[in-house]
């Protein structure tokens, strides 16, 4: 099982400016929770307890006020600052001493995932021992994404193209990845692209060239949303509001996931209620204690 995960929560968030001039995008609310809760919940659903969050230089204190070290959730959270964006693979260079000899999952801090069988999919992906696995989701406008063409029989990647001008596939590469330990070495060998950053597509191609790049799909019953633009950000918030209000269940309730996993108990839930104060989220946590 993959035991370590990275959340890449740096970047300038220029597509959401001026909102992101004062506050990091991952700390803005998606309905009733900070955006960072959603990618963090994905790693926790995959039973990953050791998590590195990479943040912009100078923004560390903002995160530590919200999730200081993860002990309140029964997990271990480490923070590292990034002085400037250098591309997604830079996360594995920054996180070298955190990853050590383990395999690792990485999720982008502005990605949102939802689906009935999502937990089962995540647990299956976290079993990877060799190679890399990416998560795909069908989209209407593949020309705006990195896309993958796959062999449906063995789920191996046949071709990956960044923002294809001609149709290759409608399966977009989402911001959730599972890698073996070779990812550190491969990332360090990458050279910056024309835009001056290390490219995740180039990293994935190293695995593909060795015939070790696989894919899983969220499927028609699931949802993947990128909250990087103002429009998509509010669409995601509306989606969460609609689902939560209809079901009476919260998406990305970190304490609920930890309680279900057996990582925390009643004492920690009560501490979290005290931390959040008198709010709807605390009321939900109180209900958890009654049903547990």
DSSP-assigned beta bridge partners for residue 194? none
238 vs 291: CA distance, rounded Å: 27
Residues 272, 183 within the same domain:
no
Q: What is the pLDDT of residue 292?
A: 67
Residues 200, 237 within the same domain:
yes
CA 204 from centre of chain? 17
Q: What is the pLDDT of residue 122?
A: 97
291 lies in which domain range? 253-292
Residues 163, 270 within the same domain:
no
As given in the structure block, the two tokens for residue 178 are: 């599972």
Residues 16, 133 within the same domain:
yes
As given in the structure block, the two tokens for residue 239 are: 């989606």
Residues 72, 200 within the same domain:
yes
Which residues make Cβ contacts (< 8 Å) with residue 97, sequence separation at least 6? none
Residues 61, 164 within the same domain:
yes
Residues 238, 286 within the same domain:
no
Pairing, β 132-138 against β 33-34: unpaired
Residue 220 per-residue DSSP state: T
Q: What is the pLDDT of residue 228?
A: 81
How wide is the angle at C-alpha 221 spanned by C-alphas 215 and 226, nearest 5°? 65
**What is the phi/psi pair of residue 104, to 5°?**
-150, 145
**Model-level pTM?**
0.95
Q: What sections of 9-130 are H helices per DSSP?
A: 37-45, 60-66, 90-94, 96-99, 118-125
Pairing, β 29-30 against β 157-162: unpaired
pLDDT in tens, the chain (292 residues): 899 999 999 877 777 888 787 788 899 999 999 999 999 999 999 999 999 999 999 889 999 999 988 999 999 999 999 998 899 999 999 999 999 999 999 999 999 999 989 999 999 999 999 999 999 999 999 999 999 999 888 888 999 999 999 999 999 999 999 999 999 999 999 999 998 999 999 999 999 999 999 999 998 888 999 888 888 899 999 999 999 999 999 999 999 999 999 999 999 999 999 999 999 999 999 999 988 6
Q: What is the pLDDT of residue 237?
A: 96
Residues 171, 279 within the same domain:
no
Residues 172, 230 within the same domain:
yes
Q: What is the pLDDT of residue 116?
A: 84
Residues 206, 76 within the same domain:
yes
- Give the chain's length: 292
The pairs formed by 242-248 with CB atoms below 8 angstroms and a separation of 24 or more are: 243/114, 244/31, 244/32
Q: What is the pLDDT of residue 227?
A: 87
Q: What is the pLDDT of residue 84?
A: 87
Query: What CATH number does the domain containing 198 carry?
Result: 3.90.550.10
Residues 169, 205 within the same domain:
yes
Q: What is the pLDDT of residue 157?
A: 93
Number of domains making up the chain: 2
Residues 124, 134 within the same domain:
yes
Q: What is the pLDDT of residue 229?
A: 83
């Amino acid at each position: 099982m993959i035991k370590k995960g990275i959340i890449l929560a740096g970047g300038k968030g220029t597509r959401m400016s001026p909102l992101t001039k004062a506050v990091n995008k991952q700390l803005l609310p998606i309905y009733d929770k900070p955006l960072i809760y959603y990618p963090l919940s994905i790693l926790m659903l995959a039973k990953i307890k050791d998590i590195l969050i990479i943040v912009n230089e100078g923004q560390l204190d903002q995160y530590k006020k919200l999730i200081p070290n993860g002990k309140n959730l029964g997990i271990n959270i480490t923070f590292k600052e990034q002085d400037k964006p250098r591309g997604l693979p830079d996360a594995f260079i920054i996180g070298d001493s955190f990853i050590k000899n383990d395999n690792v999952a990485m999720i982008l801090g502005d990605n949102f995932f939802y689906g009935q069988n999502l937990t089962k999919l995540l647990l299956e992906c976290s079993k990877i021992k060799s190679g890399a696995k990416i998560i795909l989701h069908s989209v209407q406008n593949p020309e705006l994404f990195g896309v993958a063409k796959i062999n449906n029989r063995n789920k191996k990647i046949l071709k990956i193209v960044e923002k294809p001008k001609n149709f290759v596939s409608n399966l977009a590469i989402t911001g959730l990845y599972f890698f073996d330990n070779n990812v550190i070495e491969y990332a360090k060998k990458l050279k910056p692209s024309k835009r001056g950053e290390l490219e995740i597509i180039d990293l994935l191609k190293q695995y593909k060239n060795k015939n070790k790049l696989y894919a899983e799909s969220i499927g028609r019953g699931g949802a993947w949303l990128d909250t990087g633009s103002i429009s998509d950000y509010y669409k995601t918030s509306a989606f969460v509001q609609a689902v939560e209000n209809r079901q009476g269940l919260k998406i990305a309730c970190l304490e609920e996931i930890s309680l279900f996993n057996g990582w925390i108990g009643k004492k920690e839930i009560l501490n979290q209620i005290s931390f959040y104060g008198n709010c709807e989220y605390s009321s939900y946590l109180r209900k958890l204690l009654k049903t547990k």
